[in-house]
Amino acid sequence: MKTESYADFSLRMHDASVGGRIPVNAAIELTYRCNNNCVHCYCSLPMGDEAASQKELATAEITELVDELASMGTLWLLITGGEPLLRGDFGEIYLHAKKRGLLVSFFTNGTLVDDDMVGLLAKYPPFVAEVTLYGATEETYEKVTRVKGSYRRCIEGIGSLRRAGIPLRLKTMALTINQHEVEAMDRRAAEWGCEFRFDPVIQKRIDGRVHSTPERYRISPEDAVRLDRTFPKRMQEYERFCAKFVGPPAVSERLYRCGTGVSSLHINPYGMISGCSMMVREAFSVRQKGLRWIWEEGIRSVISGKKTFSLPCDTCRLVNLCGQCPAWSVLENSSYDRESGYLCGIAKTRERSHAFLRQEAG
Amino acid sequence: MHYSGIFARIRQDKGGPLNDDHAQGMQIKSMQIPLDGVPSRSENVVFRKIENEYILVPLLSTSADVEAIYNLNEIGAIIWEHIDGKKSLREIIGELAEEYEVEPEEAERDVLDFVRDLTGSQLIRMS
Ligand code: SF4
Ligand code: SF4
C-alpha cells in the first residue's frame, strides 16, 4: 500500500478545491456566548444572554447545514464560538459531522470538558481539539478570563483530554497582561507533548459591544518583535515565509485578494454566512437565501468585487505579511479605503527590526 | 480498468513511524481470499467523493490506524461502492466485468488486489 503524507494530501485537496471552487474548509461558530469573559475577546457575550441564545441556529438547522456542506465537498470542519461546549447540543452536532465523513476540529477554552464529552471524543476522535490558554499561572490566566476558578477547570480539562489520548493543540493570544508568560505556556505545552502557537494580533470586537475592549490589550509592535525573537523555531519559519512572500503585490483590480471564499466559508451563530469570520459586512443569511445560493452567488459576487480606491498597500512589499485586508479596514476604520494602522505598524516594525526582512529591500 | 494498488494511506505528519508496510504487504500478498467470501465495509470509516478524490475518513478510534485517511483511485471507489455485505466477491467481479466490459480475469485481479489491501488495513471484513 502506498503512503502519502498528510501535507501532500492537504495541498492536493486545496488545489483541487480552488480549481473547482469547492468549500473544502468550513467553520461554524455555534454561539458567541461564553462562560469566560476574556478582556480581549472579539465576540463573546455573557453565557446567560437569552436574547443571543434565542437567535442562534437550532440543532436541526445546524445538522442540515452540515449535511449540505458534506454534499458540497467540505472535508475540514471547524466548530468554534464563543465557547462551543456551552451548547448542550455540541456532542450531537459534532457526532453528526463526524458521521458525514468530515474531519472535525474544534476550539474551546477547555473549562467545560466533562466525562461524557471525553468519552465521546475518545470514541470518535476529532481531527484536533485546540484549547486556548490565557496564562501560565492562575493569577494571569484569570486576569484575562475574569472568572474565578477558570484556570483550575481549564487545566483539569486539558488533563482529561490528554489522558484520553485526544489529539490536542494549545494556543494563546499574546496580550499586554499575559505576554510575560507566553514562554512559560510554551514550556508547559511541551511538557504535555502538545503543539503550541500564539498570536500577537488582536482584532476589535465585531459587534461594537462593550463586554470587552480587545484593542486595549494589544501588545506594542516592539513587543511583537521581541516575542518573534524569543521563539527561534517560529522565527525560522517566519523567515522562510518572508523569503517566499515578500515583494510588491501583483496588479489586481479585486477588492479581496486573499483567497477567502474560494475554498472556505464561515457560518456565524445566527446563520450569517461569509468568506471568513471577519467579513461582517458581506455576510448572507442562510435563513433567507440557503447555503448553495450564498456560496454560488452571494460570496462569489463579494470576492469578484472591484476595488474603487487606492491605498499605499497597492505597491507595498509587505502586503502578504501584514494581514491587512478590506475586512480589517472595515473593522478598524469602518471603511474600506484606509488600511489598518495597527497591522501596518507591526509589519513596518518587523521590517525595520529583522535583518532578513531589511535585506530583501536592497 | 486496473486497480494496481493505487490505494494510499495518508498519514498526518504528527504521527510516529509507520508500521512495517513491507512486512505487512508480504503477508497480505500471500493471503488466500476465497471468491465465495462476502466482503463488508468497515463501519469505522466514511466514504467521501470530493472533486476527483475518493477518500475514506476514519470515524471511530478503533480503526487500526486512527490517524490515517485513505485515498482510493476511481477503480477502488467503484469496487468499494459494490461492496454491500451481501454480495460475494464472485458476484461483484461478475457485475464489474459486465458493467465495465472487461475480461473477468482482469476484474478478478483488481478486486482481489483491492480486497487484500483493504482487509490488511481492516477497512473490509470478509465473512
Ligand atoms: S481576515 Fe481578511 S485576509 Fe483573512 S480571510 Fe478574512 S478577509 Fe481574508
Ligand atoms: S498595511 Fe502597511 S504594511 Fe500592510 S500592505 Fe498596507 S502599507 Fe504595507
Residue B44 belongs to some domain of the structure: yes
Phi, psi at B95, each rounded to 5°: -60, -45
How much is the pTM?
0.90
Residue B39 belongs to some domain of the structure: yes
pLDDT (tens digit per residue) in B32-82: 789 999 999 998 899 999 988 899 998 887 544 556 788 888 889 999 999
Residue B94 belongs to some domain of the structure: yes
Cell of A136: 501560565
Residue B19 belongs to some domain of the structure: yes
* ipTM value greater than 0.85: no
Q: Identify the band that residue B9 occupies on the pLDDT scale cut at 50, 70 and 90.
A: low
Residue B2 belongs to some domain of the structure: no
Residue B121 belongs to some domain of the structure: yes
Mean pLDDT of chain A: 93
Asked whether the beta carbons of residue A6 and residue B7 sit closer than 8 angstroms, the reply is no
Whole-angstrom distance, CA of residue A286 vs CA of residue A283: 9
pLDDT at B17: 34
Residue B21 DSSP SS3: helix
Cβ neighbours of A5 in B, within 8 Å? 10-11, 13
Whole-angstrom distance, CA of residue A99 vs CA of residue B29: 32
Which residue intervals of chain A are DSSP H helices? 6-20, 50-55, 59-72, 90-99, 115-123, 138-145, 150-163, 182-191, 221-230, 232-245, 286-289, 291-293, 300-303, 326-333, 341-353, 355-361
Evaluate if residue A65 carries a pLDDT over 60.
yes
Q: By residue range, what is the domain housing residue B101?
A: 7-126
Sign (positive/negative) of CA torsion B71, B72, B77, B82? negative
User: In the CATH scheme, what is the code of domain A14-219+253-306?
Assistant: 3.20.20.70
Evaluate if residue A317 carries a pLDDT over 60.
yes
Whole-angstrom distance, CA of residue A204 vs CA of residue B98: 63
Residue B38 belongs to some domain of the structure: yes
| Shortest distance, CA B50 to any CA of chain A (angstroms) | 5
CA atoms within 13 A on the CB side of A334: 2
Number of domains in chain B: 1
CATH of the domain at B65: 1.10.10.1150
Ligand 2: distance of its center to the CA of A344 in Å? 5
Residue B41 belongs to some domain of the structure: yes
Q: Give the A-side interface with B, CB within 8 Å.
A: 1-9, 12-13, 16-17, 19-20, 22, 24, 70, 73, 75, 98-103, 122-125, 165, 167, 195
Whole-angstrom distance, CA of residue A166 vs CA of residue A194: 11
Min mean pLDDT across A15-29, A182-196, A244-258, B103-117 is at: A244-258
